[in-house]
Structure 1
Amino acid sequence: MLSAFTHDHDGERLSCVGSGGDDAGAATAVLLHGAGNGSKERLLPLLGDFAARGCAGLAFDFSGHGESTGTLGGSSLRLRFEQAVSVIDATVPAGAPLILVGFSMSGQTVADLARHYGRRAVALVLCAPAVHAAEAWPLPFEDPEGTARQDGPQAESRFSRIIRTPDSWRGAPALDVLRAYEGRAVLAVPTRDAIIPPAVTRAVTDALFARADLSRLELPDADHLLGLWFRDHAEDRQRLVDLALTGLGSPVRPAAGA
């Protein structure tokens, strides 16, 4: 059963949902939504599917999203990472294995968490993931004091300028993390993705192919918003969970009828 709770971090109150696993050693599936109007709400069916397979589950709204406090413009990739670590450390038993599931911008956060938690990250599930240049990581999504420009009231933020610069992602530290990762990995790829450049997806694929046990899930009819797609397509959701749990063994049990 999923239970709602809140977690306070650095002056913000984060809205969370969690469930216990079949036993104290169960892997915890941590689901991280994307940017824009993303929220944990659309990920709850996927969280329920992980829970039905014996996993503990955890999802939350980053600050400025969903039911959490804060502003989207005041957030950053660093803050998203720090919030995720704070929620995980307060909720998941110390040393318990983690299945890290990230959508879009949270592909970057999954890589950050994989570096932070090391071998505790037994599976990475990347859904239309983004990776970003190191210089973008600490910057707020919107500059605290925008400057006037001729064609609008506020200049483009430094963060936006960096991530919109062609090929700025090529030196992303996240790619080094994924290249070194040796656990289970799933890359979910919508063929109608108008947000993530194909070159980014190829780079993520190549990085994971280096050492990870990688499966690639192609979704021919899906667009970039895979949180909504999996919410509405139960069969694809089950395929994603099946791939994520392949080879992990106990305490994760096989799907019924498998």
Structure 2
Amino acid sequence: MSELSSFTPLTSFTYAHDGERLAGVLGGGPGRAAVVLLHGAGNGSEERLRPLLAEFVARGCRGLALDFSGHGNSTGALRELSLRRRFEQAVAVIDAHVPAAEPLVLVGFSMSGQTVADLVRHYGERVAALGLCAPAVYAPPAWDVPFGEGDGRFSEIIRTPGSWRRSPALEALRAFAGRAVLAVPGTDAVIPPEVTEAVQDALAAQAQFTRFELPDAEHRLGLWFRDHADDRRDFADALLTGLGDRGWTAKQLPEGRTITGLLGRYA
């Protein structure tokens, strides 16, 4: 963990929702914005995101990260989780722990790319910025289907070639006019490059957009940021650049960084 974030306290919490106990961590208080970190699928959890969360808290933000049901310290069965339930759990925890007047910065890893887009549709102009890290998006029929054991209806839908092209997530991202950073690993064996290109095209339509290249990283960017302090510092800086003044002034980054920017129209 970086020197900046190593002394940033985070507090664990649990929250009862829909018959389950959702676990997570909080840090900071009223400030620039509330930053919400959402982990990916499989064995993802908030624990690996704590160093990144601490970076945002150290920059004057409220910070929140949660375990979706069936993950980490939350109760519930992963096979019963769905994209719809992920969205509902995120809304419940955000509404319980973040004052309604605070702007939101949403950061989603892998499967939570879809969840972030769903939250953008829900919270609208309250979302000031979003960070998508090797994000996935899904076809409309997949939204309400339980994940199962990997061989059921959900898997059938998402494995249908090109089904993701009809995802409402792309429409939501295309309409987003805040700050947006897309973190892209050099090697991604999970997300097809055409999905990443479609997400980039959507964000570049109106957002104040930056593509954040991590050439030596693979798909699990939560683990990458946990273990690479310089990269997580640069990612936090990139996402918060210009936040609060409705503008974007490019930040001078350390030599060797490969961030490229595509400026869209301001809201």
TM-score (ref. length: structure 1): 0.90
Partner of 1:142: 148
Q: Does 1:239 find its partner at 2:234? A: yes
Residue pairs, 1:1-258, within 5 angstroms: 1-21=9-29, 24-142=30-148, 156-249=151-244
Quick one: which amino acid aligns to residue 84 of structure 1? A
Partner of 2:257: none
Once the 2 structures are TM-superposed, how far is the Cα of residue 95 of structure 1 from its aligned partner?
2.1
CA distance in 1, matches of 2:236, 2:31: 19
Quick one: which amino acid aligns to residue 213 of structure 2? E
Quick one: which amino acid aligns to residue 186 of structure 1? V
Q: Which runs of 4+ in 1 moved over 2 A?
A: none
| Residue aligned with 2:210, SS | strand
Once the 2 structures are TM-superposed, how far is the Cα of residue 140 of structure 1 from its aligned partner?
0.2
CA distance in 2, matches of 1:214, 1:223: 22
CA distance in 2, matches of 1:12, 1:164: 29
CA distance in 2, matches of 1:62, 1:70: 9
| Residue aligned with 2:216, SS | strand
Partner of 2:259: none
Partner of 2:248: none
CA distance in 1, matches of 2:55, 2:27: 11
CA distance in 1, matches of 2:47, 2:224: 13
Once the 2 structures are TM-superposed, how far is the Cα of residue 25 of structure 1 from its aligned partner?
4.7
Quick one: which amino acid aligns to residue 147 of structure 2? F
Once the 2 structures are TM-superposed, how far is the Cα of residue 191 of structure 1 from its aligned partner?
1.4
The answer to whether the Cα contact below 8 Å between 2:142 and 2:158 also exists between their aligned partners in 1 is yes
| Residue aligned with 2:217, SS | strand
Once the 2 structures are TM-superposed, how far is the Cα of residue 128 of structure 1 from its aligned partner?
0.1
The answer to whether the Cα contact below 8 Å between 2:31 and 2:60 also exists between their aligned partners in 1 is no
Residues 6-65 of structure 1: CA deviation (Å, up to 9, x unaligned): 0010001011100123xx353010000000000000000000000000000000100000
The answer to whether the Cα contact below 8 Å between 2:32 and 2:244 also exists between their aligned partners in 1 is no
Quick one: which amino acid aligns to residue 62 of structure 2? A
Partner of 1:151: none
CA distance in 1, matches of 2:129, 2:202: 15
| Residue aligned with 1:8, SS | strand
CA distance in 2, matches of 1:30, 1:85: 11
Unaligned runs of 5+ in 2: 1-8, 246-250, 255-267
CA distance in 2, matches of 1:20, 1:230: 20
RMSD (Å) for aligned C-alpha atoms: 1.6
Residues 194-246 of structure 1: CA deviation (Å, up to 9, x unaligned): 00000000000000000000000011100000000000000000110011001
Once the 2 structures are TM-superposed, how far is the Cα of residue 94 of structure 1 from its aligned partner?
1.1
Paired residues, what number? 240
Quick one: which amino acid aligns to residue 185 of structure 1? A
The answer to whether the Cα contact below 8 Å between 2:25 and 2:66 also exists between their aligned partners in 1 is yes
CA distance in 2, matches of 1:188, 1:76: 24
TM-score (ref. length: structure 2): 0.87
| Residue aligned with 1:218, SS | strand
Residues 83-111 of structure 1: CA deviation (Å, up to 9, x unaligned): 00000000000121000000000000000
